[in-house]
Structure 1
């Protein structure tokens, strides 16, 4: 899909799925070039141009050569500002550096991403700063009970397994071991300019098993949720400290465990997070990201804070079996105003592949979870009947 430039500034957004970034950038007045793996209907609708950067074969992932070719092609647009990297580049931080040579990267620099995603350096920095996190080690624990094996270059929780899982670890993915800890998985969305941070919202993450070998898969999030005042102040101070320590830029998120009045840090995602969709349109998300990266500007705390009130949840619906979507099924999904990341007719989905996402609203987190479950069930039922 392509069209002539309108003369407005062009922004390239790239990731496994670029839908929410494409919609946010278009809403903010940019011409959008979207690069992703899925090419969903609503992604293409928001973009002036779309190109696939997916790998060939069954495994979902970003192909380096396709990405670089697409960025070089986009660089020929005289109005292009640069590109924003979303999810999926965690496992290929070197690609960020190569991509930045083809087209300016608007976000946390590649060398900073490497530092943040290096477990020894990241948790070593947390220790040096006196910030809490679950115990980490780099040799297999003995006994393994109560420990998880993670991969620093993984994404979406697919890489998290029990420490004694027989599936072999891949050294290139930088595996490490982390002691299991109590608490609810949470995430803080923030905007950074390399020196300081502005908290934009707190969400509760939806994490559940998917299949027999993936016990901690990210499904979505619910927010904005409020933290006790003392915790909110502590989190704000922590984010300022981390941004200055690592030089983070643009939209990022910090994942942590909340256990009563205590929290424990898990990881930083140094790129825009789709949890922004939970907080409404009170902020021009992509213009705020570009401004923080290029001019160092941050919104005021009053402007940045989401309005209190209704909670919103967004959840990925995964395919339970191999399916090729019919035209009737694609039309049924597109007719729902609570359904996003809309697959095109004829698209193929292996078991465990993302099919689409649904959203729901409510006044309590438990209520939103229940409504999301109801919508998942209704969506599956509608697909079975078409």
Structure 2
């Protein structure tokens, strides 16, 4: 294993497994790592950077045995560092029995069990007297509640249903407000170091569609609220002993109350809002002694979803800002994620102007054309 803060060699082999691994793969390739990966989409801008790639069934259906077999097929007996992205919420129990040549960079199974199951997570918050929306584990017939899956991600795990099917599900009081996340890394002294705050916007919360659509850095967040979040992260770290990159989701209610929601024990999508020159995967492999001064530009991530069934044509030329590019011939059902935008601009006004320009391209050149092909 690498010592804390030791620089990994450029030839270091990374095995990356996630529901969608594109941004992890691209960052690894950009900084010279060897990459072998498996995810559920096989986007063209993922596969092209990999020495080997395996397409997975939905992460929620992958058994521990299948995960181990996938890792072994990718590693072929070579020493490698394993990075688990979105999906660790389901996969973490299988990370306790890995071959000696596979070095996991993930949080321990014990830590993941604390934050990926609702009862231990909210019990922890209550013991620390950290505020969160009211939760219950029993069906409710009255009141405004949201059904959540503690092992879910991206907002697709949230609905207005009132039934509870298993121990990973719970009901949370529906509180109106603004959603944020805090991306942080654990340093070599086991202390959390804030990287940035981000604003999260879902597709249409008013009509019950909580899928994450927009994520951007440099949000408007009061200094005392930023400090309260960092204080909460410090307290959580003292109990959990996290490692690597993590993010904490939280919200500020319409009445101004700060409420904690979920902790993602993995490199989250917000890592894409860091400058591309930053090798943040290095921090996942070996805890940093010191962080460099990072000049944060104005970045934004935006997800497109299919409004009806569509097939990706073979001669479509995607503009440079687009990512998560489906392979030609890929069929998308209504509601499926199609692709994403990752925009960088010198200020927030130009950031949103560029977003509108690229959304217009998608509407005119992609969505309308795809509609005619179905």
TM-score range relative to shorter protein: 0.7 to 0.9
Quote the residue 2:35 is aligned against.
Answer: 32
Question: Match for 2:150 among 139, 149, 152?
Answer: 152
**Displacement of 1:270 after TM fit?**
0.4
Q: Tell me the CA shift for residue 313 of structure 1.
A: 0.9
Alpha-carbon distance in structure 2 between the residues aligned to 1:62 and 1:19: 20
Q: Which one of the candidate residues 8, 11, 14 is aligned to 1:8?
A: 11
- Bigger drift between 28-37 and 370-379 goes to 370-379
Question: TM-score, with normalisation over the residues of structure 1?
Answer: 0.84
Q: Equivalent residue for 1:266?
A: 261
Q: CA deviation at 1:238?
A: 1.7
Quick one: structure 1 residues 227 and 135, their matched pair in 2 at CA, closer, same or farther if it must change by over 3 Å?
same
**Whole-Å Cα distance in 1 between the matches of residues 124 and 251 of structure 2?**
18
In structure 2, relative to structure 1, the CA distance for the partners of 1:138 and 1:367 (3 Å cut) is farther
Secondary structure in 2 matching 1:90: helix
Identify which of 326, 329, 334 aligns with 2:313. Answer: 326
Report what 2:116 is aligned to.
Answer: 117
> What runs of 5+ residues in structure 1 fail to find an aligned partner?
1-5
The structural deviation recorded for 1:345 is 0.9
Describe the shift of the 1:92–1:366 C-alpha distance in structure 2 as closer, same or farther (beyond 3 A). Answer: farther
The whole-number CA distance in structure 1 between the counterparts of 2:234 and 2:267 is 17
Task: Identify the match of residue 324 of structure 2 among 341, 348, 352.
Answer: 341
1:89–1:96 contact (8 Å) kept in structure 2 = no
Equivalent residues in 2 for 1:172-187, closer than 5 Å: 174-187=168-181
1:206 to 2:201 alignment: yes
1:135 aligns with 2:134: yes
Task: Find the aligned partners of 1:127 and 1:272 in 2 and give their Cα distance.
Answer: 25
Match of 2:343 in 1: 360
Runs of 4+ in 1 over 6 A off after TM superposition: none
Q: Distance in 2 between matches of 1:178 and 1:368?
A: 33
1:284 aligned partner? 279
TM-score in terms of structure 2 length: 0.86
Paired with 1:351 and 1:101, the residues of 2 have a C-alpha distance of 43
Name the CA distance, whole Å, in 2 between partners of 1:261 and 1:307: 29
CA distance in 2 between partners of 1:101 and 1:349 (Å): 39
**SS of residue matched to 1:25:** helix
Instruction: Give the length in aligned residue pairs.
Output: 358
Partner of 2:6: none
User: Aligned-pair RMSD on alpha carbons?
Assistant: 2.8
> Are residue 380 (structure 1) and residue 337 (structure 2) matched?
no
Aligned partner of 2:303 in structure 1 is: 316
